[in-house]
Amino acid sequence: MKNALYFQSGGVTAVIGATAAALIKSHRNASEGRLFAAEHGLSGLINNQLVDASALPESMRLALSQLPGGGLGSGRTLLASYADNPEQWHRVRDVLISHQIGTIYVNGGNGSMDTAAKLVELSDRFTLGLSVIGLPKTIDNDLEGTDTSPGFGSALKYLSVSLMEAARDHCAMATKPSVFILEVMGRHTGWLATCGAVARLPTQMASPLILFPEVMFDPERFVAAVQASFTKHNACVCVVSEGIRTADGQFYAQQNAVARYGHEQLGGAGFAVAQLLREKVSVKVHVAVPDYLQRAARHLASATDIEQAEAVATHAVQLAQEGQSGVMVNIVRDANEPYAWHCDSVRLADIANRERAFPLDWIDQCAYGVTADALTYLQPLIQGEPHQTWRDGLPEYPWVEWPRI
């Protein structure tokens, strides 16, 4: 009986533990083989840092389902092409053979799905007969081929709630015109920036001004919009994607020009916008950068997001049992009201390394907001509050002790 291997890759989410826990449960019910897991993604596979996930005690598996941050560890190592690094391919092959791996589950985003596609090539090159299944995960929601990606709904919920609370604070202190800026993740896509539209701010305040990477940032026009907002209330709220660009195509604030893992390390867009407003409008500006918080807030996760995170794992095992390979589990929306969805699959070759931008026709560029269609899409994804174990006033987040091989 062949064994299976699971690993997480890329930035983690508040619900990736739910996917891992559901995969372990589904594998136990469907297969007599063992389920191994690689610590810290592909690098753990290459370094033979494997644990026996199928032997994880049930109490620890249940705890894992409620943990943020990836209790298994993730990583940024990707599988290079065979021409660029044949030694890496041979090493991966040897480890897979030594542990009698027949199925690989890759839980990640765009780059991870490219690695999954390369693992299909690796299987063909060395005649391993692997079944390779991708499981979607990204708070950026930029994976092609799926209605949404587990992790996004919870990040959006956390940011929306945080913005509502911070706006109330900002409103209370705005005795004269001032600005609050929330900088959110999103190198090339503005899905998370939509928290500015999802959040319910007091009707007395102007709607948040949202800056999307998909729309060229015009400093002069933005300054005028901020000044106009002060005609309604002294408190102006803005949401800035880290990846906003100017007319020349450059990031408005680029912290580090060196690309690693194929992505730019960005940060500081909110502070750059704040400096612009201080110079042009002479107002007080506060900036908040949630950074890791937006992808780690399990205590405020979306129940819908958790349900989908578990469902993609269950469906992945089903696909493997059917002998499928070279596919990623996707989420298909059946209806908006009431919200209905199901899991299916798409070919890795069709979606790997492709980014899904926030639709331009969902952006109200005149008002720095979004359309009603965008809200219809977004609002079901943040619904529901899951059960969470608390102890002494804090969430219970134990360290997962994985059975060693």
Q: Which residues are catalytic?
A: 140
* Rounded Cα–Cα distance for residues 178 and 14 (Å): 33
Contact 133, 327 (CB under 8 A): yes
How big is the CA angle at 289 (ends 284 and 290), to the nearest 5 degrees?
140
Contact 37, 53 (CB under 8 A): yes
* Rounded Cα–Cα distance for residues 118 and 42 (Å): 12
Which residues fall within 8 angstroms of residue 21, CB to CB, at 6 or more apart? 61, 62, 64, 65, 310
* Rounded Cα–Cα distance for residues 48 and 404 (Å): 11
- Host H or E run for residue 314: helix 303-321
- Taking residue 231's Cβ as centre, other Cβ atoms within 10 Å add up to 7
Cα–Cα distances in Å, from 120 out to 19, 50, 81, 88, 286?
A: 22, 20, 12, 15, 48
